Chains A and B, each alone.
Chain A
Amino acid sequence: MSGRRVVVTGLEVLAPGGLGLKSFWDLISEGRTATRRITFFDPSPFRSQVAAEIDFDPEAYGLSPQEIRRMDRAAQLAVVTARGAVTASGVDLAEADPHRVGVTVGSAVGATMGLDQEYRVVSDGGRLHLVDPAYAVPHLYNYLVPSSFAAEVAWAVGAEGPALVVSTGCTSGIDAVGYAVDLIREGSADIMVAGASDAPISPITVACFDAIKATTPRNDDPEHASRPFDGTRDGFVLGEGAAMFVLEELESARRRGAYVYAEIAGYATRSNAYHMTGLRPDGAEMAEAIRVALAEARLNPDKVDYVNAHGSGTKQNDRHETAAFKRSLGEHAYRTPVSSIKSMIGHSLGAIGSIEIAASVLAMENGVVPPTANLHTPDPECDLDYVPLVARDWKVDAVLSVGSGFGGFQSAMVLARPERSAR
Chain B
Amino acid sequence: MTAAVVTGLGVTAPNGLGAEAYWRATLSGTSGIARITHFDPGRYPARLAGEVKGFEAKEHLSSRLLPQTDRMTRLALVAADWALADAAVRPKDLPEFDMGVVTASSSGGFEFGQGELANLWSRGGQYVSAYQSFAWFYAVNSGQISIRHGMKGPSGVVVSDQAGGLDAVAQARRQIRKGTRIVLTGAVDACICPWGWVAQLASGQLSTSDDPARAYLPFDRAAHGYVPGEGGAILVLESAESARDRGVRVYAEVAGYAATFDPKPGLGREPGLRRAIGLALAEARVPPGEVDVVFADAAGIPELDRVEAEAVTAVFGPRGVPVTAPKTMTGRMYSGAAPLDLAAALLAMDTGLAPPTVNVDPSPKYGLDLVVGEPRRIRSRTALVLARGHGGFNSALLLRNPNT
Binary A-proximity of B168-184 (CB < 8 A = 1, otherwise 0)? 00010010001000000
On chain B, the residues within 8 Å of A93 by CB distance are none
Does B241 sit within 8 A of A, measured CB to CB?
no
Set A45, A123, A285: member contacting B195, Cβ < 8 A: A123
Residue contact B260 to A131, C-beta cutoff 8 Å = no
Set A126, A163, A168: member contacting B393, Cβ < 8 A: A163
Inter-chain CA distance A204–B118, complex, in Å, is: 10
Does B122 sit within 8 A of A, measured CB to CB?
yes
On chain B, the residues within 8 Å of A136 by CB distance are 198-199, 201-202
On chain A, the residues within 8 Å of B142 by CB distance are 168, 271, 407
Does B336 sit within 8 A of A, measured CB to CB?
no
How distant is A177 from chain B, measured CB to nearest CB, in Å? 13
- A154-162, A304-312, A316-324: which lies at the B interface? A154-162
Set B128, B156, B171: member contacting A207, Cβ < 8 A: B128
Residue contact B389 to A168, C-beta cutoff 8 Å = no
Residue contact B139 to A108, C-beta cutoff 8 Å = yes
Interface residues in B104-158 by Cβ distance below 8 A to A read 105-108, 110, 113-114, 116-126, 128-130, 132-134, 137-140, 142-144, 146-147, 149-158
Residue contact A116 to B393, C-beta cutoff 8 Å = no
How distant is A115 from chain B, measured CB to nearest CB, in Å? 7
On chain B, the residues within 8 Å of A209 by CB distance are 133
Residue contact A140 to B106, C-beta cutoff 8 Å = no
Interface residues in A386-408 by Cβ distance below 8 A to B read 405-408
Residue contact A145 to B106, C-beta cutoff 8 Å = yes
Does B367 sit within 8 A of A, measured CB to CB?
no
- Minimum CB distance partner of B266 in chain A: A155
Residue contact A151 to B143, C-beta cutoff 8 Å = no
Does A68 sit within 8 A of B, measured CB to CB?
no
Set B39, B123, B125: member contacting A210, Cβ < 8 A: B125
Binary B-proximity of A257-297 (CB < 8 A = 1, otherwise 0)? 00000000000111111111100000001001000000000
Does B55 sit within 8 A of A, measured CB to CB?
no
Q: How many B residues have CB within 8 A of the partner chain?
A: 87
- Minimum CB distance partner of B202 in chain A: A140
Residue contact A270 to B133, C-beta cutoff 8 Å = no
- Minimum CB distance partner of A170 in chain B: B139
Residue contact A204 to B203, C-beta cutoff 8 Å = no
On chain A, the residues within 8 Å of B155 by CB distance are 168, 269-271, 409
Does B302 sit within 8 A of A, measured CB to CB?
no
Interface residues in A1-20 by Cβ distance below 8 A to B read 1
Inter-chain CA distance A285–B149, complex, in Å, is: 15
Residue contact B159 to A146, C-beta cutoff 8 Å = yes
On chain B, the residues within 8 Å of A272 by CB distance are 152
Interface size class, chain A:
35 or more
Inter-chain CA distance A274–B148, complex, in Å, is: 8
Q: Which of A107, A142, A155, A163 has the most CB of B within 10 A?
A: A163
Residue contact A126 to B261, C-beta cutoff 8 Å = no
On chain B, the residues within 8 Å of A345 by CB distance are none
How distant is B385 from chain A, measured CB to nearest CB, in Å? 17
On chain A, the residues within 8 Å of B121 by CB distance are 119-120, 123, 125-126
How distant is A370 from chain B, measured CB to nearest CB, in Å? 28
Given A119-B195, A162-B261, A270-B154, CB of A127 within 8 Å of CB of B116:
no
Does A144 sit within 8 A of B, measured CB to CB?
yes
Does A164 sit within 8 A of B, measured CB to CB?
yes
- B4-12, B94-102, B232-240: which lies at the A interface? B94-102
Residue contact B113 to A161, C-beta cutoff 8 Å = no
- Minimum CB distance partner of A164 in chain B: B160
Does B40 sit within 8 A of A, measured CB to CB?
yes
On chain A, the residues within 8 Å of B45 by CB distance are 133
Binary B-proximity of A143-184 (CB < 8 A = 1, otherwise 0)? 111111011001100111111111111001001000100100
Set B39, B139, B163: member contacting A169, Cβ < 8 A: B139
On chain B, the residues within 8 Å of A58 by CB distance are none
Inter-chain CA distance A155–B261, complex, in Å, is: 9
On chain B, the residues within 8 Å of A154 by CB distance are 261, 264, 392
How distant is B143 from chain A, measured CB to nearest CB, in Å? 3
Inter-chain CA distance A182–B177, complex, in Å, is: 11
Does A99 sit within 8 A of B, measured CB to CB?
yes
Residue contact A276 to B143, C-beta cutoff 8 Å = yes
Residue contact B391 to A160, C-beta cutoff 8 Å = no
On chain B, the residues within 8 Å of A110 by CB distance are 108, 138, 159
How distant is B50 from chain A, measured CB to nearest CB, in Å? 18
Given A151-B393, A169-B137, A208-B128, CB of A182 within 8 Å of CB of B174:
yes
How distant is A252 from chain B, measured CB to nearest CB, in Å? 20
Given A161-B261, A276-B140, CB of A406 within 8 Å of CB of B107:
no
Inter-chain CA distance A333–B174, complex, in Å, is: 31
Residue contact B200 to A164, C-beta cutoff 8 Å = no
Given A99-B260, A164-B160, A409-B139, CB of A137 within 8 Å of CB of B152:
no
Residue contact B133 to A406, C-beta cutoff 8 Å = yes
On chain B, the residues within 8 Å of A408 by CB distance are 143, 146-147
Residue contact B201 to A212, C-beta cutoff 8 Å = no
Does A232 sit within 8 A of B, measured CB to CB?
no
Residue contact A211 to B133, C-beta cutoff 8 Å = yes
How distant is A168 from chain B, measured CB to nearest CB, in Å? 5
Residue contact B158 to A204, C-beta cutoff 8 Å = no
Residue contact A145 to B139, C-beta cutoff 8 Å = no
Given A206-B125, A271-B101, CB of A98 within 8 Å of CB of B263:
yes
Does B262 sit within 8 A of A, measured CB to CB?
yes
Residue contact A270 to B128, C-beta cutoff 8 Å = no
On chain A, the residues within 8 Å of B114 by CB distance are 119, 131
Q: Which of B68, B140, B147, B261 has the most CB of A within 10 A?
A: B261
On chain B, the residues within 8 Å of A46 by CB distance are 125
Residue contact B157 to A166, C-beta cutoff 8 Å = yes
Binary A-proximity of B22-40 (CB < 8 A = 1, otherwise 0)? 0000000000000000011
Given A141-B199, A141-B200, CB of A151 within 8 Å of CB of B261:
yes
Does B194 sit within 8 A of A, measured CB to CB?
yes
Given A168-B155, A288-B152, CB of A271 within 8 Å of CB of B261:
no
- Minimum CB distance partner of A182 in chain B: B174
Interface residues in B201-239 by Cβ distance below 8 A to A read 201-203
On chain B, the residues within 8 Å of A137 by CB distance are 202
Residue contact B146 to A204, C-beta cutoff 8 Å = no
On chain B, the residues within 8 Å of A166 by CB distance are 156-159
Residue contact B390 to A407, C-beta cutoff 8 Å = no
Given A119-B121, A130-B39, CB of A1 within 8 Å of CB of B178:
yes
Does A186 sit within 8 A of B, measured CB to CB?
yes
Inter-chain CA distance A275–B140, complex, in Å, is: 11
The 4 nearest A-B residue pairs measured at CB? A407-B143, A126-B121, A126-B122, A151-B391
User: With contacts A130-B39, A407-B146 known, what are 18 further pairs, Cβ within 8 A?
Assistant: A123-B121, A126-B117, A136-B199, A136-B202, A144-B110, A146-B138, A147-B159, A154-B261, A161-B260, A164-B160, A164-B259, A188-B258, A207-B126, A269-B155, A271-B142, A273-B152, A277-B133, A407-B144
A residues touching B (Cβ–Cβ < 8 Å)? 1, 45-46, 98-99, 102-103, 107-110, 115-116, 119-120, 122-123, 125-127, 129-133, 136-148, 150-151, 154-155, 158-169, 172, 175, 179, 182, 186, 188, 203-204, 206-212, 214, 268-277, 285, 288, 405-409
Some 22 contacts from A to B, beta carbons below 8 A apart, are A110-B159, A116-B117, A125-B121, A130-B40, A130-B43, A131-B198, A133-B45, A137-B202, A144-B196, A147-B159, A150-B160, A154-B261, A154-B264, A154-B392, A159-B261, A160-B263, A167-B159, A188-B258, A276-B144, A406-B133, A407-B134, A407-B140
